[in-house]
Structure 1
Amino acid sequence: MGSGKTTIGRQLAKRLGKRFVDSDHEIEARTGASIPLIFDIEGEASFRRREAEVIRDLSSQRDIVLATGGGAVLDAGTRARLAERGTVIYLRAHVNSILQRTAHDKNRPLLRTPDPRRTLELLTAQREPLYREVAHLIIDTGRPNVQSMVQTILEQLAALARKSAHASMHSLHATTPQPTSPFTLNVDLGERSYPIAIGPGLLDHADLVVRYVNGRQVAIVTNGTVAPLYLEKVAAPLRAAGRDVLEIILPDGEQYKTWESLMKIFDAMLAHKCDRKTTVVALGGGVIGDLAGFAAASYMRGVPFVQIPTTLLAQVDSSVGGKTGLNHPLGKNMIGAFYQPRAVLADTSTLATLPARELAAGLAEVIKHGAILDLAFFEWLEANMGALVARDPAALAHAIARSCEIKADVVRRDEREGGLRAVLNFGHTFGHAIEAGLGYGAWLHGEAVGCGMVMAADLSHRLGQIDSLQAARVKALVAAAGLPVSAPDLGTARWLELMEVDKKNEGGAIRFILLKPLGSPSIGPASDVDLLATLDACITR
């Protein structure tokens, strides 16, 4: 509900030369009663039976665009019928967006509750897996321009048609599965807006990277681990399209997120005579994305760049939002720039080659998004962490998409971390101290953040902002992901020294991102007594 199905459906039907039908309007026309009245008199179960009957009739017709009610997917027969008889497009909307769109709409019987937000969260948790089961295309609405959204749908429908034709022609000779259409999310930043495409086999779409490279030259920045796996897959279509491709391969590891590595990128681009229309492509994890993005922001005062994240951590966090930079011996990510990519292409198939430790590191950032901004998502993670650790494709796809939605919404509202965006650093004040104190690379970034979240939850409890059960839930989920929950003993003085060098601090005071309650963030200082108690409780001695 509230995703824009009727508005977008009408425009789509117009562009396709088809007739538009809304199942709710058809039910009202057949019964002579409004949807709320049917709910009041007959109840939801009776309404669902009417809905399934109407959709059964409508889905047998040709040349229509059908908008169904949000709960239509609850009927297994309806799901099967829709998937079999048409192309199903799921318009996904965040709970906040739905609340804004339905705030003054009295025609929503399921939202006539004291707490509409909680109702929507529960409905989303119930229906989301069913939407994904039946959908051929998943489109994130965000705050779209309707015409732009319709054009995106038309392009993806055309891509589906081409894929279907190709599969029919070559099915007897196919040696690899065809890539599925990606879930597309838009980061709405006005003229700096860009898409995030998420899905398996994206790198098998030969034209996907090419479409975001306008200039003649391309510099692909990657590392020695990723290059043998994916570099040629990215470079070959670019060369075939007539692009001049420069390959820059850096050492792999957080310890190489340095000024020296940045200079290697600049040296290679200058030696290759790259011009200001050169597109930088970041192919790798968060280190590569941050370095390549900073290089793109700085080279000739800014050239376009595209993110192709190959680790879970990069796909759910570091590739989204435009933070770029490098580490300094005195502080992590203290030197850099806000610089948005032209696109983020997250091929979830790359996670199959990811070491278990790297997968766990990425799950830390997934947990973070639920802990600070989406309790329903946090609860979903508690129920599905086993599937995520086992790399279940459907579970990973949902976790990545939801994490990107949460972060994209925060970035839209606070691109340059003037206030709200700071909450995305939950666990990072402690985590960055661990990384710097042990030496970059000793712990993975996600491992340090996971432990940092346990410490931040403990501190939140000591400040009376969450109860002991909520703090224990954070610790249990972090442990279930395979992440450390006990911090290293750096010495109290060293801990305080490292935490004082933090971008969130103001006037020399350490500012922490805390929970108040679980699922909601707060930002503020902590007393020395509480902070020292947390350090004492969480450090392994």
Structure 2
Amino acid sequence: MSGSIFLVGLMGAGKTTIGRALAKKLNKRFIDSDHEIEARTGTTIPVIFEIEGEESFRKREAEIIRELSALPDVVLATGGGAILHPETRTCLKNRGTVIYLRAGINQILQRTGRDKNRPLLQTADPRRKLEELSRQRDPYYREVAHFIVETGRPNVQFLVQAILSQLELAPNPITATPAPASAMTQSHFSFESTMNAAPSSAIALQVELGERSYPITIGHQLLDNPELLTRHIHGKRVAIVTNDIVGPLYLERVSSLLRAAGKQVTEIVLPDGEGEKNWASLMKIFDVLLAEQCDRKTTLVALGGGVIGDLTGFAAASYMRGVPFVQVPTTLLSQVDSSVGGKTGINHPLGKNMIGAFYQPQAVLADTATLHTLPPRELAAGLAEVIKHGAIIDAPYFDWIEANIEQLVARDNAALAYAIKRSCEIKAEVVRQDEREGGLRAILNFGHTFGHAIENGLGYGQWLHGEAVGCGMIMAADLSLRLGFIDAAAKARLSALVKAAGLPTMAPDLGQERWLELMQVDKKNEGGEIKFILIKPLGTPLITHAPQEILLQTIAACIER
């Protein structure tokens, strides 16, 4: 790849180590701006800080980066605070490809804990200082970055290969899109609808779960790039699980690219629909795998929506006590939610998703081109999960969804790509902190206690999952209002956004006793008490119980008469 590459990120994120390896791989010159400053001044960064102060140091740093960024074909590792200077951000953004190397606070502390050459960390509480620096700088890193690479994995060659893959997808600098801070932070941001969504561009994220970490790739026409899928399939055998709606659209294409890569492919086509997410469908998958003598090195590929993803994941977790699988979600709901996080399973007549396993995929490949074949009702169902992520965690993201709902409904590729990216970032961060739903992860069920009751009460498939969740969010907002957690304006905003997405806003009348009975069968419940995910205020989740008389008031107010 021609052109310069600029690495940004917090201290300890790996800019120097990864930069050296990347430069060697690309046959480019490597430069570390901090090392260059020390070489030119003849002293160390801490001494410069002590004598000149940080403001004077930043000016010196900006001058040197302006000079270095103008050099041809370099890999430049910048100091952690370099992007604080506006001129530096402009130089980096306009002169090359900017990569944001991001690591968790714990990982940075492990790498920098004994490094006395970090003047900003010479405090009584370095963790608190790092958290402060992360909140301050993350929006600036995102502003200039063409893509983000998580550096939690210590394997430098793996990280270099991940960067090279992204550089192949984006041979020219991509129009950058400012984004909010991390999933647990709420910083204001803006979105430009001019973001490039051409086939050559893609967004890369990482779900950080130690040895079970995996990448998410988001972009347009990704299924036309066979390497994106085949790189995650290490054995010779592949079994693709799909349904009779998605299969005619994409099965031949995916099978052909795998066969062209030398893989032996088995195709498993199931009937479409939520009602098929059951034991019988799971047995059909096992029947084919056993009949075809698929071994433990066989990789399953889930090609379809949430039902196919959940079924395939559960089959992969169970077959021969665990085989690898890859998610290729083809619906908006599965791309923003169900394909990420490792929840797999089937429904039971007495409860939704009550039987399953936590089992992470090898990778998630979200091609926004598949969303153009979705019926409007399916697209709207996916928007429910997009809205949910803003409502529970990221109020500025909720603002963005409100401002861009028309573009999302119209299937604008740039808007869809951003919504998938931000939703996956939020969910990945929650999953990282609570993989097996010990506490925090339950917040992702906002609207689901009511929504699952609707699905079960009407019979699976009458309402789409996203439709039930959309209506369930309005009911949860109503309950939040009645308990004094939000004001009427917040509930009205949520209701209006759900309606604008094309989702139902009034629940079916199941009868009070039936409503209570159905909500009692929920994975979150403890000791017979119904647990609700509410908002206090909009953008902040709360897990709590509700007095039955107030719950009944919400049900009465939200049902269709």
Q: Give the shorter-chain TM-score range.
A: 0.7 to 0.9
- Greater mean deviation of Cα atoms: 518-527 or 21-30: 21-30
The equivalent residue for 2:340 is 320
Measured in 2, the distance between the counterparts of 1:77 and 1:66 equals 13
**Counterpart contact for 1:215–1:278, Cα < 8 Å:** yes
- Name stretches of at least 5 consecutive residues in structure 2 with no aligned partner: 1-6, 123-127, 173-196
Measured in 1, the distance between the counterparts of 2:399 and 2:105 equals 16
How many residue pairs get aligned? The number is 512
For each residue in 1:26-72, what CA deviation from the matched residue of structure 2 results, as whole angstroms up to 9, or x when unmatched? 69979997599888799xxxx89x88765543222134323457785
2:275 equivalent to 1:280:
no
Measured in 2, the distance between the counterparts of 1:230 and 1:73 equals 46
- Change in Cα spacing, 1:60 to 1:282, as seen in structure 2 (3 Å) is same
Measured in 2, the distance between the counterparts of 1:101 and 1:364 equals 40
Choose which of 493, 501, 524 in structure 1 pairs with 2:513.
493
**Counterpart contact for 2:99–2:148, Cα < 8 Å:** yes
**Counterpart contact for 2:153–2:210, Cα < 8 Å:** no
- Greater mean deviation of Cα atoms: 143-152 or 264-273: 143-152
Which aligned pairs between 1:454-493 and structure 2 lie closer than 5 A?
454-493=474-513
1:288 Cα deviation (Å)? 0.4
For each residue in 1:364-383, what CA deviation from the matched residue of structure 2 results, as whole angstroms up to 9, or x when unmatched? 11111121122222222222
**Larger helix fraction of residues:** 1
1:384 Cα deviation (Å)? 2.3
2:459 equivalent to 1:439:
yes
Choose which of 364, 385, 393 in structure 2 pairs with 1:365.
385
- Greater mean deviation of Cα atoms: 53-62 or 294-303: 53-62
- Greater mean deviation of Cα atoms: 485-494 or 191-200: 191-200
The equivalent residue for 1:167 is none
1:23 Cα deviation (Å)? 8.2
For each residue in 1:449-498, what CA deviation from the matched residue of structure 2 results, as whole angstroms up to 9, or x when unmatched? 01111111111121122222222222222222222221111111111111
1:248 Cα deviation (Å)? 0.9
Measured in 1, the distance between the counterparts of 2:557 and 2:50 equals 56
The equivalent residue for 1:169 is none
2:176 equivalent to 1:156:
no
Choose which of 48, 62, 70 in structure 1 pairs with 2:72.
62
Which aligned pairs between 1:228-377 and structure 2 lie closer than 5 A?
228-377=248-397
- Change in Cα spacing, 1:55 to 1:360, as seen in structure 2 (3 Å) is farther
The equivalent residue for 1:172 is none
For each residue in 1:398-437, what CA deviation from the matched residue of structure 2 results, as whole angstroms up to 9, or x when unmatched? 2211111111111122111121111111110000001111
RMSD, aligned α-carbons: 3.7
- Among the aligned pairs, what percent are the same residue? 59
2:212 equivalent to 1:192:
yes
The equivalent residue for 1:378 is 398
For each residue in 1:144-198, what CA deviation from the matched residue of structure 2 results, as whole angstroms up to 9, or x when unmatched? 437266424553266359x78xxxxxxxxxxxx9842532222222222222122
- Change in Cα spacing, 1:472 to 1:160, as seen in structure 2 (3 Å) is closer
Measured in 2, the distance between the counterparts of 1:354 and 1:118 equals 43
The equivalent residue for 1:174 is none
SS in 2 for 1:88: strand
The equivalent residue for 1:14 is 20
2:542 equivalent to 1:533:
no
Measured in 2, the distance between the counterparts of 1:537 and 1:327 equals 29
- Change in Cα spacing, 1:412 to 1:77, as seen in structure 2 (3 Å) is closer
SS in 2 for 1:307: strand
- Change in Cα spacing, 1:395 to 1:148, as seen in structure 2 (3 Å) is farther
Measured in 1, the distance between the counterparts of 2:543 and 2:51 equals 42
- Change in Cα spacing, 1:85 to 1:35, as seen in structure 2 (3 Å) is farther
TM-score by length of 2: 0.80
1:521 Cα deviation (Å)? 1.5
**Counterpart contact for 1:2–1:98, Cα < 8 Å:** no
Measured in 2, the distance between the counterparts of 1:213 and 1:527 equals 51
The equivalent residue for 1:170 is none
Measured in 1, the distance between the counterparts of 2:313 and 2:320 equals 13
Measured in 1, the distance between the counterparts of 2:168 and 2:448 equals 41
The equivalent residue for 1:3 is 9
Choose which of 73, 79, 99 in structure 2 pairs with 1:89.
99
- Change in Cα spacing, 1:22 to 1:208, as seen in structure 2 (3 Å) is same
- Change in Cα spacing, 1:264 to 1:149, as seen in structure 2 (3 Å) is closer
The equivalent residue for 2:423 is 403
1:235 Cα deviation (Å)? 0.9
**Counterpart contact for 1:462–1:530, Cα < 8 Å:** yes
SS in 2 for 1:509: coil
1:325 Cα deviation (Å)? 0.9
Measured in 2, the distance between the counterparts of 1:284 and 1:126 equals 36
Q: Which amino acid aligns with 1:145?
A: P
Measured in 2, the distance between the counterparts of 1:344 and 1:251 equals 23
1:356 Cα deviation (Å)? 1.9
**Counterpart contact for 1:363–1:481, Cα < 8 Å:** yes
- Name stretches of at least 5 consecutive residues in structure 1 with no aligned partner: 109-113, 165-176
